[in-house]
Amino acid sequence: MKVIYKITYPNGKIYVGKDLTDSINYFGSADDKLIEKDFTREQRRDITIRKEILWESETATDKEVSQKEVEYINAFKSNAPAIGYNQWPKFKV
């Protein structure tokens, strides 16, 4: 199963990604340094992160999944710095 997921951090910011293996333990490749800036050391001591599956397919090609990922990034605006942690595609105001 291939999936598109949305990660929501305690500050409300999101990250949208894809997983071509549907691993329950995969939480994306968002930039650690970018996320760390938004949380104090104390806040990092107890953190809850939510992962939601937005879309899934058993038959989609990797290319189709990548296209779907970009659609969801744009739909959620998770590439806008005030909204999320996706850095690609670049957010256009």
Q: Please say if the pLDDT value at position 93 is more than 80.
A: no
Whether 90 maps to a domain, the answer reads no
pTM of the predicted protein model: 0.94
Range of the domain at 42: 2-76
* pLDDT one-digit tens code per residue, 13-41: 999 999 999 999 999 999 999 999 999 99
Q: How many CB atoms lie within 10 A of CB 75?
A: 10
Output the pLDDT for position 75. Answer: 98
The verdict on residue 25 lying in a domain is yes
pLDDT value at position 92? 83
- 34 three-class SS: helix
Residues 52-76 pLDDT 10s: 999 999 999 999 999 999 999 999 9
pLDDT at 74: 97
Whether omega for the bond prior to residue 10 falls within 30 degrees of 0, making it cis, is no
Structure-token match 């107890």, residue found: 46
Residue 15 counted as domain residue:
yes
The count of domains in the chain is 1
